[in-house]
Structure 1
Amino acid sequence: MKIRVPKKLIEVALPLDDINAAAAREKSIRHGHPSTLHLWWARRPLAAARAVIFAQMVNDPGFEIGAGFRRGVNKKEAEIKREKLFDIIRDLVKWENTNNEEVLNRARAAIRESWRETCELNKKHPQAAELFNPEKLPAFHDPFAGGGAIPLEAQRLGLESYASDLNPVAVMINKAMIEIPPKFAGQAPVGPLVPGDHQPDLHEDWSGAKGLAEDVRRYGHWMREEAFKRIGHLYPKVLITEAMAADREDLKAYVGEELAVIAWIWARTVKSPNPAFSHVDVPLASSFVLSSKREKQVWIEPVISGDKYKFKVRTGEYPKEIKNGTKAARGANFTCLMSDAAIPGGYIKSEGLSGRIGHTLMAVALEGNRERVFLSPTLEMEELATSASPSWAPSALIPEDKRSMFTPLYGLKTFGNLFSARQLVAINTFSELVREARNKVLGDFENSQNLQSLPYNSSQYADAISVYLSFIVDRVIDRHSTIATWDSSPTKLQLRNTFARQAIPMTWDYGEGNPFCSSSGTFGSSIDWVTKAILKLPAQGNGTAVQANGQTQDISHLKVVSTDPPYYDNIGYADLSDFFYIWMRRSLKSSFPALFSTMVILKAEELVANPYRQGGKDRAEKFFLDGMTEAMHNMAEKAHPSFPVSIYYAFKQSETKEKGTASTGWETFLEAVLRAGFSIVGTWPMRTEMGNRMIGSGTNALASSIVLVCQKRETTAESISRRQFQRQLREEMPLAMEAMIGGTEGASPIAPVDLAQSAIGPGMAIFSRYESVLNQDGTKMSVHDALILINRAISEYLDPDSGSFDPDTLFCDSWFAEYGWSEGPFGQADTLARAKGTAVNGVVEAGVLESGGGKVRLLKWQEYATSWDPKQDHRVPVWQACHQLILILNQRGETDAGALLARMPELGEPIRQLAYHLYTLCERKKWAEEARAYNELIGSWHNIVAASQEVGVRDQQHTMNF
């Protein structure tokens, strides 16, 4: 008996603009966001994860129409119900509603209602008892859990949540987010009060993870104080003397005060390549600027005397050459401070590989009164730093992947090489204190008077606290390596973190931070970040995080599955996370021996296409394709049959070119999904970049990931011919495209910037519903070839020549594609105009073309008249109407644009289709600024139409009253 599966909302429509806006906004949220618990690369926004899981689980109201399940629901009723689901999503994705129980309960109720509906449809199924228990929702699983956003949001929506990953660091992050908080929810803290804290009331609220967070704060404070007792002498304050302030007005207010150091700012050095100065270690400084604040510029002046030099901190406007330090060009190219001789990258690499790269102190940043104060370095400061003697340094080799691991090229080959001696002493101390704090938790737990009949013991609680304490240490480590540079920008004046991007770069000047001061990146601030993140975790339901291979795991059995798998060759998670693993292992190995059994993370099974690891590009692609196919097949076979599987894919490699949207990684990933037995029933672009990255330089910077909605392909699926596939594209793509640019009820139209990726969905839905598409020679059509045909269908739909556009618009479009806004020869324009059924003079008369001196030029929309009235113009091409609308939108806003549209309502649909087409054309030609105007018009389309309808109603009422 076949399972009756209602179509889910995610297969039909989403309020994509609302989801994308919330996801983009989330990038600017800091305090309390789970991403601040521990760094992870390419973590999905909570808003997107929450919306996708919800839409994946609720039935689309339209499934009742003509689907044979139930009768009596008309289209209008379905639209009203769908709009209610959209409203839930709109509330659900807002950051301020992350823990809003009223909003979450509405979402949970909708999920349960859909589940009961599905159970009712299948109550006579032979496996009903196993598959369709209306009293218990299916559990959730993410087999590539990574940073944990997806399983966390499943738990927040009321599902029992399972997270698995091969990477031990990812497993620990997921334990900290979904497994530990619910287990210890409601637990009062057991640690001693921090000095200065008030005694908690006996009835104080310790609900959720509040008690857990409080204990992390208390033991974190104990660790900081204990560490300072042991190594505080390595981080002394600096006494500001009269001599220091003699020529520094900014220091006079601090004379006699001791100021805490924020950072010591160093430059790496090499021996000068000039024979006359070959005994001198010269600095490799990428900048001598300490503060670029306009009102308080501070910089380093190198003072040369004979064959020696020193650094002196100066205030006031800095000379232009100071900005680039001794840097000569991009990469490892510098100039000798002593002789101006070139220091090329090859020379620096040779010196580094021979162990001859040193370092010199350039300046010191101090904590002033709500400001940064900078000092010239002293010999005593440098000697104190070099006197530190670490008891241990990581000897694990940094993988020599030249795409993301750059330090081995310069002799920094081990993870221990990434830290100064003083940094190693500090991190060793903090790591040891995690273990000591665990023992302290054990004792305090046993002595606590508030613990009765708990389902866990002291050892389990101590392990849990240790996890978060190790995360605090990892946050410190991220800012306290010699890869962390000083940020001199006006709003920062602080240390950058090691992982400013998904790589370990080589840096030349770096900041060595003080973990005991009050600046960002210190131990104290890290306690604050971690505890605030814990407080935002749901801490309810059940969660489990384990280490498992996605290709062989069986956790997905009868579970709802949503996942964010590795992105072809974009990120080597295992290589990068060794940076944290080696330290985490020192702190947590005794508590989690199975997870930390190896010196470094095992990398052979990691599902990424890595040429250096897998023996070349072709082998890497095959490794990824075979492994991902196996992992996807595993999901297809095990996932609960009542729900589609949602799969995120990062689209960062893709480019929209003349042939369409494609990339090696994207094609290989799609190939794996289809080989695994999935049919793709939808693709949704999730916009997770900041709003100021709306238009990239011709690339798809906006849609940083795509969600594939997949169903297990029917076992009865047949094969079809290439010709049949093309015919189905011609028949089905126009309807799908119309739905996308028109928008379903309650959902905004797909923005032009996202259309290329979204439109692949219906095309791949056709391609993937069959066992195969056969070429004329009987071979199976590849995903690459299918994408070419799909992209061709998209272009044909958007091409004005295929629609009912007027001749003037057809001429303008073809001319624009060739010349943009530039001039071109009259003769060529005359020939083109005749071919399109118009004349150059006629297009000039329409007010969109300029002609003279044997040249013609399309007028830019900024050159159009703002007083234009389509009712008074006897020749109104769609081209003109579209660009007049853009002009009014930009100058006067949506309301006035709506009033203009109300004067030409019959042109609304052609204008919109032309805007989509012109956006796609501009994107492919990398005309970013031109593309922006068309994208913004479509982005405002709903509001413009609404405004035009209001004008129409007012006009009608005015006529009736008259």
Structure 2
Amino acid sequence: MTYPKRLIEVDLPIRRISHASRSEKSARHGNLSTLHVWWARRPLAACRAVIAASLWIDPDDPNASPAYLSAIARTLREFAEAALMDRDTRPLLGETDQFWAGVARTPADTLAGEPLKLRTALLEVVALSSAWQAASNRLVLGVLETLTLASHASLSPVSPRPWVIDPFAGGGAMPLEALRVGADAFASDLNPLAVLLNRVSLEYAPGQQQGFASEVRQLGADVARRVSAQVADLYPADASGTKPIAYLWARTVRCEGPACGKPIALARTFWLTQRAGGVGVKMHTPASATEPTFEVLVKPRTDQVSRPTVQRGAALCPWCTHVTPVEQVRAQLSKDRGGADTATLMAVVVENANGARSYRAPTPQDLSGVARARERLARLRESHPDLLPDEALPPKGALGFRVQNYGITRFDHLHSARQLVTLATIAQTLRALEAEGVAEPLCATLSLALGRLQDLNSSLCTWADTVVGANRAQNRVSMVWDFAEAAPFAGAGGSWEGQVDWIVRVLEHIGSTVPRAATVVQAPAQTHPLPDDAAALLATDPPYYDAFGYADLSDLFFVWLKRSTARPHERFAQFGLDGKTPKELEIIVNPEVTREGVPRKDHDWFYEQMRQAFAEARRVVEPSGIGVIVFAHKDTKSWEALLTGVIDAGWIVTASWPIDTERPTRQRALGAAALASSVHLVCRPREDQAGELQVDAIGSWSAVLAELPVRLHQWLPRLAEEGVVGADAIFACLGPALEIFSRYSEVQKVSGDIVKLPEYLEHVWASVSREALSMLFSGAQTEGLEADARVTAVWLWTLAAPTSAGELGAEDDAAGESERAEEDATAGGSAGSNAGFILDFDAARKIAQGLGAQIAELSHLIEVKGNKARLLSVTERVTYLFGAREAVPTAKKAAKKKQMTLFAELDEVAEHQGWGAIGAPSPGHTTLDRVHQAMVLFAAGRDEAMKRFLLQDGVGQQSTFWRLAQALSFLYPVGAEEKRWIDGVLARKKGLGFG
């Protein structure tokens, strides 16, 4: 390499950056993520730190110029002196203040001659800059910019600042932080919603201090005055003059029981809050009545609150107890376009003058506002039909949408009549402001409040204990049975004023911390608008394969945003002929959906479009530049598609860093692999100094395979020291593995056959599995362990995570209850069991193969269903372990077992085999079987049988038995039954005389 390495290619303080990234999610006010909805946003902390480390030259590189070393030595010394004296900055130094005191005492000339100390100082700046408070600290921002300009001057003195490009700009985190560290940024995206978000945050807000934000707030207040006057009668106050802040509804179907036909208000719970003793609803359904009535109870007993009326999508009639199946519930709601306007009002939430909230039963006055809204909507459809979003929802099977089976087939079906009237009135008012000459940046920015409001004002919103929850459970649009309707001008959660305030806070923060604007354009990543060799850094977060249908989900907002302007083609530049966001060139995997004029988006499509996108990015990045690509997906096929596209586009992977970006408190599917980290791949163009793609570097397949385990042996322990384990560590190993493979234009076997990346990745997984096993058992201690034990150990290690973080985008999953219920009912099965530990089948296959095993030969241990593989729980193996060896219990049978009778079959086997009172079961064939047998005996309370089992036949004398038991104790998740059982076995070890 003729160019000096960047800092990120040598080292990165990932533990501290990870901590800052997780903590940032609690810093809500002013955070870019609160400007508007976007999917899988990257923490600003990670973006800022990674971009800075990518722009700065490593001081210890032999190609680093003396001028650069002198410049950063002066800068770091001056920063140290100032930071130690500044009361706002010194707390950011934390435990490193003594290090900075040493830097401050060292003369700049001396410091310039200590490149390793300079590297350490740069890494410390990277770490402290990732803190949320650092984003608004003048000293930190100043040193970031100065270091960036010094590095750039050493590399490319032609332009004053380095250009950072992001062709998948999305929510704008990467380009925003590029500006903050002193670079210029070029943000592009195909999606018009993303472009609007980037224009607001990257063009309109930077350098505006408080002026622009103040104008937006004033304009928002003007809109509130105009619209609230027009819709006030739709949200009437009660007899005491108290205005509601939310209405709680239940979709309603008719009982299909014999001679019944009465209405069933569908509710997954009748508890409104569990705080301070709780508030619940009692539904009264006397036989003589034709409609239910509702009573709100404060601090009720559990038996006073009505039981849920919907289970797994089926409706339970409170009048006659008949169960109307989910297919008929769906059919009834389909006739009513989802049933938003045939729902039953159960309760009303009000807020008194001092801000205290309370609940009451609905009154006729409440329903009068709904009736007026329906009348007004009918008139609106005649006079201004263009204000109502009548565009069709995506076709069935589209990523993120699960409501079409309920008759919700257009975007206006997502809302009740009152919600439609209010949203349309706001859109009409925003148009009027535009006609009155209000500046486009102000109008465009304020339209985001309409987008945010729409998200909290649909019939798919939930009541989340005390606030209205958004309509996107796990970033999917799913049916909910009981929904919450906010009063948009009541000043509470879900209100217009609240949405304007969130936006203004972001504008204030950006305006005071980002001095320059970026360049924002709408363009597909496959055809980048910049010329050759224009950028110093590619920093991007490309689409996550099949995780999100970005364009379809964006249409939830776009259909309203475009109605807030009379000139949508000027504000959004380009959108589809169907009036929605463009889909043809969107790079995702969604093969089940076909659209006219849109190609089938399968694995091959994703790969080819990624290859084109990154080939364009390589063209735009100068030969001395680098790239950082963020990716987070647990499916191995998605990684193969992305990485093959990157390497075939002419990039060399030089490093990879996993940064833990998820909060520990987020939900996680128990026993399933979940990435807590986003892997940051660092790349270089595989070009010569003239910028031409190198095509003559041929690698030897045998040499590559020989180097691979050596690199992984060096890398995995470093990850473990940083707290990176499991699936995060596996994917983090892709970087060093690809450093070996991607440096060549081709890798050839002795036969002359060219090795493709998927074949190499098979070997990477195998090597990672073997190295992980070696770490778990200290190398040679794996001797004597059979294939089932090896696979189990690495399988559990793969599921381990540094936090209990959930999948990307996971939210409160109450809103997805009906969707899951429908899927369960349609499949005709039970809700299933969380027993066992789940991996994607392809990942499980690669792990097993790497350890010398085949999944098909482990059917007594592993269950395969579709594209998932499940390591059976110990409980499910009881019959196999103690009974007939060929008996393999099914998950369905195991799911039906009750804990209190869990080991009934063990009792039967013990009695049948004659060891119940005095003997012990026959030891299993493998070490894992014998360990599992001991665990079951402990769990069943058969201490004497377990003692005899360990003492006779020498089971307890086998060192492999205890090594495996100790490893499983470490690997089982805290709180799992298996963890408690194996620890119980280990606790008996010394007492039985085994040391």
Per the TM superposition, whether the score is higher than 0.5 is yes
1:816 CA displacement: 9.1
The answer to whether the Cα contact below 8 Å between 2:576 and 2:582 also exists between their aligned partners in 1 is no
Indicate which of 311, 315, 336 corresponds to 1:334: 315
One-letter identity of the residue aligned with 1:93: S
What is the match of residue 892 of structure 1?
none
Query: 1:263-295 CA distances to partner (integer Å, 9 max, x unpaired)?
Result: 1111111222124123x3322222211122242
For residue 141 of structure 1, what is the aligned residue in structure 2? 165
Aligned match for 1:416, one of 412, 419, 430: 412
The equivalent residue for 1:258 is 241
CA displacement at 1:334 relative to structure 2: 2.1
Secondary structure of residue in 2 paired with 1:526 = helix
How many Å separate the matches in 2 of 1:810 and 1:705? 37
Question: Hey, what's the Cα distance between the residues in 1 that align with 2:198 and 2:637?
Answer: 31
Q: Structure 1 residues 771, 432: closer, same or farther in 2, change over 3 A? A: same
Residue 71 to residue 150, structure 1, CA distance change in 2 (3 Å)? closer
Say if 2:256 and 2:322, in contact at 8 Å, map to a contact too.
Answer: yes
**Partner residue in 2 for 1:713:** 686
CA distance in 1 between counterparts of 2:615 and 2:318 reads 60
Q: How far apart in 1 are the matches of 2:429 and 2:777?
A: 71
Shift of 1:533: 0.9
- Give the structure 2 partner of residue 246 of structure 1: none
Is residue 588 of structure 1 aligned with residue 612 of structure 2? no
Q: Compute the displacement of 1:430 (Å).
A: 0.9
Are residues 179 and 521 of structure 1, via their aligned partners in 2, closer, same or farther at CA, if it must alter by over 3 Å?
same
1:362 equivalent in structure 2: 346
Task: Note if 1:854 corresponds to 2:837.
Answer: no
Q: Note the alpha carbon deviations across 1:541-595, whole angstroms, 9 max, x for none.
A: 2312111010012327421211111111110011011111111101135252624
Q: Does 1:640 align with 2:622?
A: yes
**1:429 aligns to 2:425 (yes or no):** yes
CA contact (8 A) 1:800 1:810 kept: no
Change (3 A) 1:292 1:776: farther
Q: Does 1:725 align with 2:727?
A: no
Normalising by structure 2, we get a TM-score of 0.71
Write the deviation string for residues 697-716 of structure 1: whole angstroms up to 9, x where unpaired: 44443434211111122515
- Equivalent positions of 1:88-167 (< 5 A) are 88-119=125-156, 132-133=157-158, 136-167=160-191
1:771 aligned to 2:745?
yes
SS for the counterpart of 1:238 is coil
Q: Which stretch of the first structure deviates more once superposed, 601-610 or 352-361?
A: 352-361
Residue number in structure 1 paired with 2:529: 554
1:568 matched residue in structure 2: 545
CA contact (8 A) 2:461 2:483 kept: yes
Q: Which residue of 2 aligns with 1:83?
A: 120
Amino acid at match of 1:366: V
Q: Amino acid of the residue matched to residue 792 of structure 1?
A: A
Indicate the SS of the match to 1:692.
coil
SS in structure 1 of the partner of residue 770 of structure 2: helix
1:619–1:178: structure 2 CA closer, same or farther, 3 Å change rule? closer
Question: Secondary structure in 2 aligned to 1:546?
Answer: strand
Other structure's SS at 1:412 match: coil
Query: One-letter code of the match for 1:400?
Result: P
Q: Once the 2 structures are TM-superposed, how far is the Cα of residue 414 of structure 1 from its aligned partner? A: 0.4
Amino acid at match of 2:950: K
- The within-5 A match list for 1:222-261 is 222-239=222-239, 257-261=240-244
Question: How many angstroms apart in 2 are the aligned matches of 1:918 and 1:551?
Answer: 49
Asked if residue 540 in structure 1 is aligned to residue 510 in structure 2, the reply is no
Query: 8 Å contact 2:149–2:182 — kept in the other structure?
Result: no
Aligned-pair distance for 1:366? 0.7
Q: Is structure 2 residue 355 aligned with structure 1 residue 396?
A: no
Partner letter of residue 116 of structure 1?
A
Task: Note if 1:612 corresponds to 2:607.
Answer: no
1:351 to 332, 340, 345: 332
> Which residue among 27, 41, 44 is the counterpart of 2:42?
44
Q: Are the aligned partners of 2:786 and 2:927 in contact in 1 as well (CA < 8 Å)?
A: no
Is 1:666 the counterpart of 2:639? The answer is yes
1:298 Cα deviation (Å)? Answer: 2.9
- State the Cα distance separating 1:70 from its structure 2 match: 11
Distance (Å, rounded) in 2 between the aligned partners of 1:141 and 1:928? 49
Rounded Cα–Cα distance in structure 1 between residues aligned with 2:111 and 2:126? 23
Q: 1:39 to 1:807 in 2, by over 3 A?
A: closer
- SS of corresponding position for 2:175: helix
**Alignment correspondent of 2:266:** 284
Looking at structure 1, the residues matched to 637 and 976 of structure 2 have their Cα atoms a distance apart, in angstroms, of: 20
Corresponding residue number in structure 2 for 1:176: 200
Partner of 1:306: 288
1:897-934: CA deviation from partner (whole Å, max 9, x where unpaired): xxxxxxxxxxxxxxxxx99x997x6589999979999x
Q: Distance in 1 between matches of 2:775 and 2:226?
A: 75
- C-alpha contact 2:545 2:638 (8 A) present in aligned 1: yes
Q: Residues 593 and 603 (structure 1 numbering): CA distance in 2 closer, same or farther, change over 3 Å? A: closer
Q: Any conservation in 2 of the 1:300–1:362 contact (CA below 8 Å)?
A: no
Equivalent pair of 1:217/1:527 in contact (CA under 8 Å) = yes
Taking structure 1 as reference, are residues 312 and 87 closer, same or farther at Cα in structure 2, changes over 3 Å only? same
Aligned to 1:496: 469
Runs (5+) with no aligned partner, structure 1: 120-131, 186-207, 240-256, 443-461, 655-662, 743-747, 834-849, 858-876, 884-913, 934-962
Aligned residue pairs total: 771
- Kindly indicate whether the alpha-carbon contact (under 8 Å) linking 1:65 and 1:75 is maintained by their aligned counterparts in 2: no
Distance 1:302 1:542, change over 3 A: same
CA RMSD, Structure 1 to Structure 2 (Å): 4.0
Conservation of the 8 A alpha-carbon contact between 2:400 and 2:477: yes
User: Which aligned pairs between 1:749-760 and structure 2 lie closer than 5 A?
Assistant: 750=724, 754-760=728-734
Cα distance in 2 between the residues matched to 1:160 and 1:795: 42
Equivalent residue, structure 2, for 1:734? 713
Matched, 1:526 2:507: no
- Normalised to the residue count of structure 1, the TM-score between the two structures is 0.73
Write the distance in 1 (CA, Å) between the matches of 2:979 and 2:243.
Answer: 48
Q: Which residue of 1 aligns with 2:357?
A: 372
Q: Match for 1:432: what amino acid?
A: Q
Amino acid aligned to 1:359: A
SS at match of 1:264: strand
Whether the aligned pair in 1 keeps the contact of 2:30 and 2:509 (CA below 8 Å) is yes
CA distance in 1 between partners of 2:65 and 2:39 (Å): 42
Distance 1:882 1:17, change over 3 A: farther
Contact 1:696–1:928 (8 Å) recurs in 2:
no
Q: Which residue of 1 aligns with 2:76?
A: none
Asked if the contact 2:785–2:960 (Cα under 8 Å) also holds between the matched residues in 1, the reply is: no
| Contact 1:31–1:532 (8 Å) recurs in 2 | yes
Is the 8 Å Cα contact of residues 19 and 51 (structure 1) preserved in structure 2? Answer: yes
Does structure 2 retain, via aligned residues, the 8 Å contact 1:48–1:686?
Answer: yes
Q: 1:856 Cα deviation (Å)?
A: 6.9
Distance 1:831 1:621 in 2: 40
Q: Tell me whether 417-426 or 595-604 shows the greater mean CA deviation.
A: 595-604
- 102-111 vs 410-419, which moves further: 102-111
Distance apart, 1:410 and its partner CA = 0.4
CA distance in 2 between counterparts of 1:530 and 1:323 reads 40
- 2:51 is the alignment partner of 1:60: no
Runs of 5+ in structure 2 lacking a partner? Answer: 71-109, 688-693, 797-872, 882-919, 929-944, 953-958, 984-995
**1:32 and 1:532 in contact (8 A); partners too:** yes
What residue in structure 2 maps to residue 910 of structure 1?
none
1:761 and 2:785 aligned: no
Letter of the aligned partner of 1:525 in structure 2? G
Aligned position for 1:794: 768
- Matched with 2:102 is none
Give the secondary-structure state (helix, strand or coil) at the position aligned to 1:853.
helix
Q: Distance in 2 between matches of 1:856 and 1:371?
A: 66
Letter in 1 for 2:328: Y
User: Equivalents in 2 of 1:695, 1:506: separation in Å?
Assistant: 21
CA distance in 2 between partners of 1:320 and 1:638 (Å): 67
Do the aligned residues in 2 keep the contact of 1:629 with 1:673 (CA within 8 Å)?
yes
